[in-house]
Amino acid sequence: MKNIITPLIAVAACGISWCSAQNFVLNGDFESTTSGSNKQLGYNTNATNWTTGGYNFLFAPGIADTTGATGESGAVKLWGSNNGGTTVLPSTSPSGGNYVAADGAYKVGAISQTLSGLTVGASYDLSFYWAAAQQSGFNGATTDQWKVSLGGQTKSTAVYNLPNHGFSGWMTQMMTFTADSAAPVLSFLSVGTPSGLPPFALLDGVTLTATPVPEPSSFLLAALFGSGVAFRRRRR
């Protein structure tokens, strides 16, 4: 019995952890760009595979609270320990490299991508990192959140209440959607208040994978385990 169960455990373990889940989002870490980072998306650069119509920026590590990003209205920086902010703004997000910073109260527009290859009616798990920040040079508490849509469904993160000159720290968000199209649009819309104290929501590490369903190997392992227990009890 031992020699039979051991290899099956290895097979079932992969079945239970779903080792090779496909990520349906392209360039979810925003590393691929058309004209570099530290610029405004849709104005002087773009993130490959993404479109945007808002006042949204792409920051490289260590730039947000130092030199900032160049946009249509000049340089945009975020409060951090390098420019007088009350909280350390980490040089990178948890996934490293570039990240998006979107104004939630001025020229608001979503950052979006049309996906492909989804199965209508199937469930998909969306995962991403996000944070709340404020544009430097402004004073007062703000709020931030992301409204996330996949096809005709929309879900939101919790509203984060950010103290004056603060930074929330990076947070992990998980959402589950049901595909209503094989090629739905995935979009992120920054929503913040108040309009006069620019609230910025940050985004990185976006992935969308099929919700795991236990494979037959996991059920087989459970059956073999139960049989082994019953066999040992009979021997006693």
Q: What is the CATH number of the domain that holds 168?
A: 2.60.120.260
Structural domain tally of the chain?
A: 1
What is the predicted pLDDT for the residue at 43?
97
Distances from the Cα of 7 to the Cα of 4, 10, 12, 125, angstroms = 6, 5, 9, 30
Structural domain boundaries, residue 195: 22-210
Instruction: Give a yes or no: residue 182 inside a domain.
Output: yes
Instruction: Give a yes or no: residue 172 inside a domain.
Output: yes
Instruction: Give a yes or no: residue 117 inside a domain.
Output: yes
Let me know: does 55 contact 71? Beta carbons within 8 Å.
Answer: yes
Q: How confident is the model at residue 234 (pLDDT cuts 50, 70, 90)?
A: low
What is the predicted pLDDT for the residue at 108?
97
Instruction: Give a yes or no: residue 224 inside a domain.
Output: no
Burial class (CB in 10 A: 0-12, 13-18, 19+), 18: middle
Instruction: Give a yes or no: residue 6 inside a domain.
Output: no
Instruction: Give a yes or no: residue 229 inside a domain.
Output: no
Instruction: Give a yes or no: residue 50 inside a domain.
Output: yes
Instruction: Give a yes or no: residue 193 inside a domain.
Output: yes
pLDDT digits (tens, 9 = 90+) for 47-71: 999 999 899 999 999 999 999 999 9
Let me know: does 98 contact 29? Beta carbons within 8 Å.
Answer: yes
